Amino acid sequence: MTSPTAPLPNATPSVILVGVDFGLPHFDADLQELGQLAETAGYRVADRVSCKRRAPDPALFVGSGKADEIKMLVQSTGASEVLFDQALSPAQQRNLERHMGCPVNDRTLLILEIFAQRARSHEGKLQVELARLQYLSTRLVRRWSHLERQSGGIGMRGGPGETQIELDRRMIGEAIKRTKERLEKVKKQRATQRRQRQRREAFTISLVGYTNAGKSSIFNALVKARTYAADQLFATLDTTTRQLYLGEAGRTVSLSDTVGFIRELPHGLVEAFAATLQEAADADLLLHVVDASNPDHPEQIAAVQRVLGEIGAAEVPQLLVFNKIDAMDPANRPLRALDAMEVDGQSVPRVFVSALSGEGLAELRSWLAAEVARRHGAPAEQDPMRPAEAADPLV
């Protein structure tokens, strides 16, 4: 007879979410974003655990008492895995798995899993594979802990376990080298395409923003494309570029939809997606899409700014596109479609839109046309970088 807490055959795997508050700002006590990531990866959230610590426990990250509590939750809920909102060291991960008797993973691996599921293009798959290999290379101590480690005879330094670890490390190292070489070819192809656009004096615009802010929806609305868009994290990973005609400027510009960012985006992923993210660094203008209906949008803006700094795109001019105003509380909706707000000590123009209803898209197109005309010396009715009046700040 099947235990009532045991997972049913072929049922959605359930997980326990764990977050530790170390006193850092903007701690997600409800583990809302980790829960969204888990659901995106195909898991069902069985329970959530939050705790406070001054510093991570070197062995178990959360300490032995909290680890016992989580182990009891795993047994009572029948969860198949435990997911931590913070990055775990290989030793902590191994110790937690031994203690709880089930797989234990962290936010980094969860994001890697989602990227692996969503990558469609050859380049995207290569980028995810590189990030996965780099992550796995740091986990060899856990992967091969089941092998015997015994001292050898005179002049010997280890047993078969040590030999296997070295073999696996060499194989992963060679795979990383091959993947990097293939990605380098892709990078050169993209550089050639960028030079061709520069020779044509093409004006390039890249959509950037926090994941699920609605970049692909705005992209589709502007260029009448059918790029996949869904209300989920990392719905699209591969860069898509289309031509956008701006009648008021009498020009066609190149518009690219890029991968979404997230707080604590694993550095390995930033490195692996360098070829794709280079589109943003080389753009003439960034449309920084923000979910205006999300109360945490200031923190999301800061997270995107940090990633832009990592990829060398911090100095590229931006337009903030506050999307999803249709989902906002009517009392908090802006009085004007265009204004400006301060980001990192600088005034950045802002436009309010709804990709769903179409509200504000005409103002967005007009702003882009005026900016393109200004950059190319054509007369414009007003400098879009200097709005006539600033609207009331968004609450």
Q: Supply the pLDDT for residue 316.
A: 93
Q: Supply the pLDDT for residue 311.
A: 84
Under the banding of pLDDT at 50, 70 and 90, the label for residue 233 is low
Residue predicted with more confidence, 109 or 61:
61
Same-domain status, 218 and 194: no
Answer whether residue 65 is part of any domain. Answer: yes
Answer whether residue 390 is part of any domain. Answer: no
Domain with 322 in it: what CATH number? Answer: 3.40.50.300
Answer whether residue 212 is part of any domain. Answer: yes
Number of domains in the chain: 3
Q: Supply the pLDDT for residue 207.
A: 93
Answer whether residue 372 is part of any domain. Answer: yes
Whether the per-residue pLDDT at 349 is higher than 50: the answer is yes
| 355 assigned binding-site residue | yes
Q: Supply the pLDDT for residue 48.
A: 96
Under the banding of pLDDT at 50, 70 and 90, the label for residue 117 is confident
| 68 assigned binding-site residue | no
Query: What six digits make up the tokens of 213?
Result: 């802010």
| 114 assigned binding-site residue | no
Among residues 378, 348, 85, 350, the alpha carbon closest in space to that of 250 is found at 378
Same-domain status, 137 and 251: no
Whether the per-residue pLDDT at 256 is higher than 60: the answer is yes
Alpha carbon 174 to chain centroid, angstroms = 27
Rounded distance between C-alpha atoms, residue 154 and residue 72, angstroms: 47
Q: Supply the pLDDT for residue 183.
A: 82
Same-domain status, 355 and 267: yes
Same-domain status, 55 and 123: no
Range ranked top by mean pLDDT from 118-127, 224-233, 234-243: 118-127
Q: In what order do the strands lie in the sheet with 338-343?
A: 240-246, 251-257, 203-209, 285-291, 318-323, 346-352, 338-343
| 325 assigned binding-site residue | yes
Answer whether residue 253 is part of any domain. Answer: yes
Q: What is the share, in percent, of the chain residues with pLDDT greater than 70? A: 78
Whether the per-residue pLDDT at 314 is higher than 60: the answer is yes
Tell me the whole-structure pTM to 2 decimals. Answer: 0.76
| 219 assigned binding-site residue | no
| pLDDT digit string, tens, across residues 17-28 | 999 999 887 788
| 154 assigned binding-site residue | no
| 43 assigned binding-site residue | no
| pLDDT digit string, tens, across residues 166-212 | 777 788 888 889 988 888 887 787 777 666 656 666 789 999 999 88
Answer whether residue 5 is part of any domain. Answer: no
Answer whether residue 153 is part of any domain. Answer: no
| 215 assigned binding-site residue | yes
Give the 3-state secondary structure of the chain: CCCCCCCCCCCCCEEEEEEEECCCCCCCCCCHHHHHHHHHCCCEEEEEEEEECCCCECCCECCHHHHHHHHHHHHHHCCCEEEECCCCCHHHHHHHHHHHCCCEEEHHHHHHHHHHHHCCCHHHHHHHHHHHHHHHHCCHHHHCCCCCCCCCCCCCCCCHHHHHHHHHHHHHHHHHHHHHHHHHHHHHHHHHHHHHHHHCCCEEEEEEEECCCCHHHHHHHHHCCCCCCCCCCCCCCCCEEEEEEECCCCEEEEEEECCCECCCCCHHHHHHCHHHHHHHHCCCEEEEEEECCCCCHHHHHHHHHHHHHHCCCCCCCEEEEEECHHHCCHHHCCCCCEEEEEECCEEEEEEECCCCCCCCHHHHHHHHHHHHHHHCCCCCCCCCCCCCCCCCCCC
Same-domain status, 341 and 274: yes
Same-domain status, 105 and 133: no
Same-domain status, 110 and 171: no
| 294 assigned binding-site residue | no
Whether the per-residue pLDDT at 5 is higher than 80: the answer is no
| 324 assigned binding-site residue | yes
Same-domain status, 209 and 334: yes
| 256 assigned binding-site residue | no
Answer whether residue 309 is part of any domain. Answer: yes
* Domain region containing 272: 201-376
| 257 assigned binding-site residue | yes
With vertex at residue 216, the alpha carbon angle to CA 213 and CA 219, rounded to the nearest 5 degrees, is: 120
Same-domain status, 307 and 365: yes
Q: In what order do the strands lie in the sheet with 81-84?
A: 44-52, 14-21, 81-84, 104-106
Query: What six digits make up the tokens of 96?
Result: 């937690």
| 210 assigned binding-site residue | yes
| 110 assigned binding-site residue | no
Under the banding of pLDDT at 50, 70 and 90, the label for residue 112 is confident
| 42 assigned binding-site residue | no
Domain with 63 in it: what CATH number? Answer: 3.40.50.11060
Q: Supply the pLDDT for residue 232.
A: 59
| 345 assigned binding-site residue | no
Packing angle, helices 274-281 and 122-137, rounded to 10:
120
Rounded distance between C-alpha atoms, residue 101 and residue 30, angstroms: 25
Q: Supply the pLDDT for residue 255.
A: 92
Rounded distance between C-alpha atoms, residue 291 and residue 230, angstroms: 14
Same-domain status, 328 and 268: yes
Rounded distance between C-alpha atoms, residue 118 and residue 374, angstroms: 38
Same-domain status, 94 and 195: no
Whether the per-residue pLDDT at 243 is higher than 60: the answer is yes
| 378 assigned binding-site residue | no
| 326 assigned binding-site residue | yes
Same-domain status, 85 and 134: no
